[in-house]
């Protein structure tokens, strides 16, 4: 008899964004006349930039000719992309990361989940609360989370670190031993950032306790503040304690194309084992590399034209974030994020829970958001809005919210 992974039975209903899609689809079916504005899942809407499209077309042409055809590529990614990343994202900022410490993948979400393959089941996991649900659910699937406690809305074996307005959205260092710490800056979902001093405290903690930091930098391109590291490796000591995840999704519109990368420094060693060697072993066994066409497209992001073009797209989203922040503030809301992030974290009206406010915005303004409670207990009392939509629709959404709040 085959035995299934019993940890899956412990997972709550469905993945957060699937649940929102389900509720939204049910509403749209019942109200076909509703003109819904999507500000829920952080999916981009601007097309790939011309430099990326041209590179992908040329790559398809390469595959169409025997003399330039590529079959299986290196599991770690092509050198042309690893070297472009090493130069632009690290060397240009004075960061000592080698090209062969960079592993190309089909996206940061896969890597954030897959990295658990090289960790034992008995690590104590620490996450911020609220948190991107992938960190928690993937550890739960691997049996590292314990049981789900409905009442506490959390897992019995996960160490939750409240990251709230009260502590300036900087989690306090753990008061009991933890082994693996997930940090995300700019943060999903709060849109806030960790500065140099705050990250230095975490790096020092991790080195002192032989812990590992999983640092998610998927929203790095949105950083607009001076004192905020773009990479954890800007912080002294990070190469001996941190793994960093990056994504082309939000940077260059690759949510559909799929490409990201993970940095595993060779200096990162635990229990005498090189995490770099282990991740390499994992990738060469379970992954045949990201597609050649997609990697050529990603490399074009680092060309002069590509870099200029993606900045224009990012400016479009940055302008949306400003519209949302100012629009919500004009409607009387307290908001966080938006400055260095495409996410705006909005306090719900007094006495209203986040699912209740989600329903109100859906039903009375036809706007789809993400309820903060879906990201963890400390997300209760908030909703998240994203700046990745159409500019006119974003302005329209703010007008609808202002009208709704004025009539309540
Ligand atoms: C989000 O909305 O939090 C993100 O789009 C999810 C993701 O990047 O997987």
Residue-by-residue pLDDT tens, the chain, 408 positions? 999 999 999 998 777 888 899 999 999 999 999 999 999 999 999 999 999 999 999 999 999 999 999 999 999 999 999 999 999 999 999 999 999 999 999 999 999 999 999 999 999 999 999 999 999 999 999 999 999 998 888 999 999 999 999 999 999 999 999 999 999 999 999 999 999 999 999 999 999 999 999 999 999 999 999 999 999 999 999 999 999 999 999 999 999 999 999 999 999 999 999 999 999 999 999 999 999 999 999 999 999 999 999 999 999 999 999 999 999 999 999 999 999 999 999 999 999 999 999 999 999 999 999 999 999 999 999 999 999 999 999 999 999 999 999 998
Question: Residue 153's pLDDT is what?
Answer: 87
Residues whose beta carbon lies within 6 Å of some atom of ligand 1? 41-43, 109, 132, 188
Helix segments in 210-337, DSSP class H: 249-252, 275-286, 292-300, 304-330
Question: Residue 290's pLDDT is what?
Answer: 98
For residue 188, which atom of ligand 1 is closest to its CA?
3
Question: Residue 4's pLDDT is what?
Answer: 98
For residue 41, which atom of ligand 1 is closest to its CA?
2
For residue 255, which atom of ligand 1 is closest to its CA?
8
Q: Which of 16, 17, 317, 384 to mutate to test the pocket of ligand 1 (most atoms within 8 A of CB)?
A: 17
Cα distance between residue 278 and residue 120, in whole Å: 12
Question: Residue 30's pLDDT is what?
Answer: 96
CB burial of residue 152 (10 Å; 0-12, 13-18, 19+):
exposed
Q: Which of 16, 130, 188 to mutate to test the pocket of ligand 1 (most atoms within 8 A of CB)?
A: 188
Q: Which two tokens stand for residue 186?
A: 């700019």
Question: Residue 16's pLDDT is what?
Answer: 86
Question: Residue 248's pLDDT is what?
Answer: 98
> Could you give the C-alpha distances from 295 to 52, 65, 72, 367, in angstroms and in order?
10, 18, 13, 35
Question: Residue 13's pLDDT is what?
Answer: 76
144 CB contacts (<8 Å, ≥6 apart)? 116, 119, 121, 122, 123, 125, 157
Q: Which of 132, 250, 260 to mutate to test the pocket of ligand 1 (most atoms within 8 A of CB)?
A: 132
Greatest distance between any 2 Cα atoms in the chain: 68
Question: Residue 299's pLDDT is what?
Answer: 98
Question: Residue 257's pLDDT is what?
Answer: 98
Helix segments in 6-86, DSSP class H: 7-10, 16-30, 50-63, 79-85
Q: How many residues does the chain have?
A: 408
CA of 41 to the centre of ligand 1 (A): 6
The answer to whether the CB of 100 falls within 8 A of the CB of 76 is yes
Q: Which two tokens stand for residue 40?
A: 């829920």
CA of 187 to the centre of ligand 1 (A): 11
CB burial of residue 91 (10 Å; 0-12, 13-18, 19+):
middle
């Amino acid at each position: 008899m085959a035995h299934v992974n019993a940890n899956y039975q412990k997972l709550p209903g469905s993945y957060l964004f699937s649940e929102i899609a389900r509720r939204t689809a049910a509403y749209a079916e019942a109200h076909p006349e509703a003109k819904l504005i999507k500000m829920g899942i952080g999916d981009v809407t601007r097309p790939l930039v011309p430099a990326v499209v041209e590179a992908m077309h040329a790559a398809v042409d390469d595959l169409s000719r025997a003399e330039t055809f590529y079959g299986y590529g290196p599991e770690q990614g092509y050198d042309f992309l690893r070297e472009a990343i090493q130069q632009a994202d690290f060397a240009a900022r004075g960061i000592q990361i080698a090209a062969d410490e960079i592993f190309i993948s089909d996206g940061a979400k896969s890597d954030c989940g897959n990295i658990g393959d090289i960790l034992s089941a008995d690590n104590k996991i620490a996450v911020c609360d609220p948190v991107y649900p992938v960190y928690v659910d993937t550890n739960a699937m691997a049996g590292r989370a314990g049981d789900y406690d409905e009442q506490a809305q959390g897992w019995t074996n996960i160490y939750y670190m409240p990251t709230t307005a009260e502590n300036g959205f900087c989690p306090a260092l753990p008061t009991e031993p933890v082994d693996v710490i997930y940090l995300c800056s700019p943060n999903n979902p709060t849109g806030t950032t960790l500065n140099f001093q705050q990250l230095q405290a975490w790096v020092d903690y991790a080195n002192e306790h032989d812990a590992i930091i999983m640092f998610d930098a998927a929203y790095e391109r949105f950083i607009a503040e001076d004192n905020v590291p773009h990479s954890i490796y800007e912080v002294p000591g990070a190469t001996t304690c941190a793994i960093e995840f990056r994504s082309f999704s939000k940077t260059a519109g690759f949510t559909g194309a799929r490409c990201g990368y993970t940095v595993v420094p060779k200096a990162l060693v635990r229990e005498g084992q090189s995490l770099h060697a282990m991740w390499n072993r994992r990738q060469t066994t379970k992954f045949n590399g990201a597609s050649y066409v997609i990697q050529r497209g990603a490399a074009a992001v680092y060309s002069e034209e590509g870099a200029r073009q993606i900045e224009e797209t990012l400016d479009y989203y940055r302008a949306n974030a400003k519209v949302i922040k100012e629009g919500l503030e004009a409607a009387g809301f307290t908001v966080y994020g938006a400055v260095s992030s495409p996410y705006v974290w909005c306090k719900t009206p007094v006495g209203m829970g986040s699912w209740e406010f989600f329903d109100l915005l859906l039903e009375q303004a036809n706007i789809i958001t993400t309820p903060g409670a879906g990201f963890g207990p400390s997300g209760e009392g908030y909703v998240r809005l994203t700046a990745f939509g159409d500019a006119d629709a974003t302005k329209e959404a703010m007008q609808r919210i202002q009208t709704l709040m004025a009539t309540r």
